[in-house]
A and B are shown apart, each in its own frame.
Chain A
Amino acid sequence: MRRIASGRRGAVGIGTKTLGAVVTVVAFASIAAPGARAQSATPGGMPPPPGMSLARSAAMRFPQPVRVGDLLHRDVLQPVESQNVLGTVRDVVRDSKGTILVVMNFGGFLGFGSRPIAVPVDAMALLGQDMEVVAFTPGQLRHFPSFASSDGVPLSPDAVIKVGLAKPSH
């Protein structure tokens, strides 16, 4: 059910709301197929090895400078072949410990019912025009507390932060 819901969300993501509806035949074919849920191994968005700190694993992804303003509204994807949309970037903030967090509108259906969660930028990676959460599964993200504006100070859109890279997952 989750998969189907996120699929619909994705249609909104590319700005063609009706697309999801008209391809029922195709969608049915894919969902009905026994192997449809079997995702391939995804070295592109491999989680950090157990025990490794987020900071260290992010450093291995060749962090590149990027303007905060260029990150806003980006789709946040799950690093799997089907590129499920987890949410969109709403804000980039710094918490009291100095950690940079990406606040994303997480979950929901067709843009409704999502809630903001804050994910450490070191748990994320840049994938072209999108972002990915590489260090947490959607199941883990579901347990993240909702973000409150008192949890961090927004960075200016012109601020430049460093974010690691990912290659496409398939």
Chain B
Amino acid sequence: MKSPFRPDTVPDPAILGLHRPLIRSLRRRGLIRGGFSLGALAMLTGCDVHRPEAVESALLAVSRWNDQVQAWLFDPNHLAPTYPESMILKPPKFNAYYDVMHVKPVNGATWRLELSGLIADKQPWTVQQLEALPQRSMVIKHICVEGWSYIGGWSGVPLRTFLEHVGADLRAKYVAFQTADNYPSSIDMATALHPQTLLATKYAGETLADPFGYPVRLRTSTKLGYKNPKWITSIEVTNTYPGGYWESRGFNWFAGI
């Protein structure tokens, strides 16, 4: 079965190279016009001058190297510190690449989790089916790349349990996510199999609220906040580097903590 993550026809990569200067200048103009009004992106305006392409690719090369160092540092058996339930921040802190009023709630009744890639049983899943699998709860610290943190309590099926259940190839390199808010994300298989990596459906014992990813989001204790996609709609197991929303804008991919 073909992955829904890939376009029907693959464009000739040369086209991208050919049009790169044009795309860059259009993007720049668009940004200057204020076409992108999002907070983090607003800072991109007119800054290409300070980031020559050679410097950019050198920094990205080091970032790739840092991915490998972090994978090497990652201990699959080391659990993140946990905290008493009394320390859970209620409600949790909201963040996204857009402001909260632009959150588009997902209808849990019609929602299905699609599966693709190196998975034996690709039947879509409902929320009830997910909640029927063995659940785990954890009270862990959420650490954002921006520097803030808070203690949150999450419950759901461990991603490992789910991947085993659907017959995923656990030797594959990546687990990739698509979401209802167009926030593609991906993690390494070692992290996917970590006991504190959940497909979370509950916060502080209650069904996830809309702004925090209802019905299902990823919650992993060993990565920065931006590696925890909300409103997940599909999961793919793959050996092809899937990247992600912030990663394609310069953030580090592994983002382990």
Contacts and interface: CB of A to CB of B under 8 A. Distances in A.
Touch A–B, Cβ below 8 Å: yes
Given A46-B99, A128-B89, A166 B94 contact: yes
A126 B209 CA distance: 15
B42 interface: yes
Interface string A37-78: 000111110100000000000001110111100100000000
Contacts of B210: 62
A44 B96 CA distance: 10
Interface residues of A, number: 26
Interface string B56-67: 000000000000
Interface in A79-138: 125-129
Interface string B66-102: 0000000000000000000000011111111011110
Interface of A: 40-44, 46, 60-62, 64-67, 70, 125-129, 164-170
Interface of B: 37-40, 42-43, 89-96, 98-101, 103, 146, 148, 150, 209-211
Given A128-B89, A168-B95, 14 more contacts: A60-B100, A61-B100, A61-B101, A62-B94, A64-B91, A70-B90, A128-B92, A129-B93, A129-B150, A165-B91, A167-B99, A170-B39, A170-B40, A170-B146
11 contacts: A40-B39, A60-B101, A61-B101, A62-B211, A128-B150, A129-B89, A165-B94, A167-B39, A168-B39, A168-B148, A170-B40
